[in-house]
Amino acid sequence: MFHIGATVFAGFVAFLGILIAWLEVTPIERQREICRMAEAAPGKEEEFRSTNQTAFVVGYTGETGKVLVEELVNRNIFQKVVLIGRRELNYEGEKYNKLEQKVVDYEKLEDHADLFKGHSVGFCCLGTTRGKSGVEGFKRVDHDYVMTTAKLAKEGGCGHFVLQSSQGANKNSSFLYPRVKGEVEAECADVGFDKLSIFRPGVLMVDRKESRPGEWFARKVLAPLKYIAPTVMTCPVETVAKAMVNIVLSPSEKPSEIFENKAVHLLAKGKLC
């Protein structure tokens, strides 16, 4: 009996391994275009910088948002970056001079419509979890706050909205998380931005201070994938941030595009192609 059990288990593990390896090596749709966009991005920084554009970031105190701000500061492509959030962070050093922090109450975001005026690009890394905020709280942040942000951005003249969604987003899902993510994606598409870039990273790889046992467990289990199949189910926050900046410099010819986890990796570093 033990033998049969062990054989079935070994077979299952081998199957899973092959599936993951296959997913890792299978090219995605538009792979070459996405790689070309990524490769072209660094060469466009200087020209972009000379156009004096500004951007805003919501969710900038979060794990992805923090890294995105760092990426924006280091690549220095905007004349000004307005950070809109519910609390302030400490930035020390000259390179942070182009950041402006604005503390707002998201329940009254409309009162701050002027903060969203005049930006060519808006980045959204907002989000909470059901564990932290409950079902209603989760919808409030991940749907309502994101949609209010998107609408204010559009009214303020934002031409390119860059939204962090999630792998598995699906408005038809019977599960809360993927459904809300899918609904927000669809509603953002209806807002009518000239350009909409939606990112669907997998499990975010980050050394999170906050305790989230489920996510922590997923990260530990999936950590070895970093070596054998880095683009299948996981995504370092640095990769999301790089990809977000690259898509601004090197926009897709499509007005609206969804980047699945692997595409996010490719967009961050074209040399994978």
Ligand X SMILES: *[C@@H]1O[C@H](CO)[C@@H](O)[C@H](O)[C@H]1NC(C)=O
164's contact among ligand X, ligand NAP, none, with CB below 5 to 8 A by partner kind, is: ligand NAP
User: Do the beta carbons of residue 160 and residue 251 sit within 8 Å?
Assistant: yes
Residue 226 burial class via C-beta count within 10 angstroms: exposed 0-12, middle 13-18, buried 19 and up? exposed
Q: How many residues belong to the site for ligand NAP (CB under 6 A)?
A: 23
User: Do the beta carbons of residue 35 and residue 266 sit within 8 Å?
Assistant: yes
Active site residue 181: yes
256-260/121-124 β-pairing: unpaired
Q: Which two tokens stand for residue 216?
A: 């922590």
User: CB-wise, 41 or 169, nearer to ligand NAP?
Assistant: 169
* Residue 172 near ligand X by CB under 6 A: yes
* Residue 51 near ligand X by CB under 6 A: yes
Active site residue 96: no
User: How far is 38 from 181, CA to CA, in rounded Å?
Assistant: 25
CB of 185 to ligand X, least distance (A): 9
**Given 3-state DSSP classes, what are the helix, strand and coil percentages for the chain, each rounded to the nearest 5?**
55, 15, 30
51's contact among ligand NAP, ligand X, none, with CB below 5 to 8 A by partner kind, is: ligand X
* Residue 127 near ligand NAP by CB under 6 A: yes
User: Do the beta carbons of residue 215 and residue 208 sit within 8 Å?
Assistant: yes
Amino acid at 105: D
52's contact among ligand X, ligand NAP, none, with CB below 5 to 8 A by partner kind, is: ligand X
Catalytic residue among 181, 195, 242, 262: 181
* Residue 74 near ligand X by CB under 6 A: no
User: CB-wise, 115 or 126, nearer to ligand NAP?
Assistant: 126
* Residue 54 near ligand X by CB under 6 A: no
Q: What residues make contact with ligand X under the rule CB under 6 A?
A: 51-52, 170, 172
> Which residues belong to the active site?
177, 181
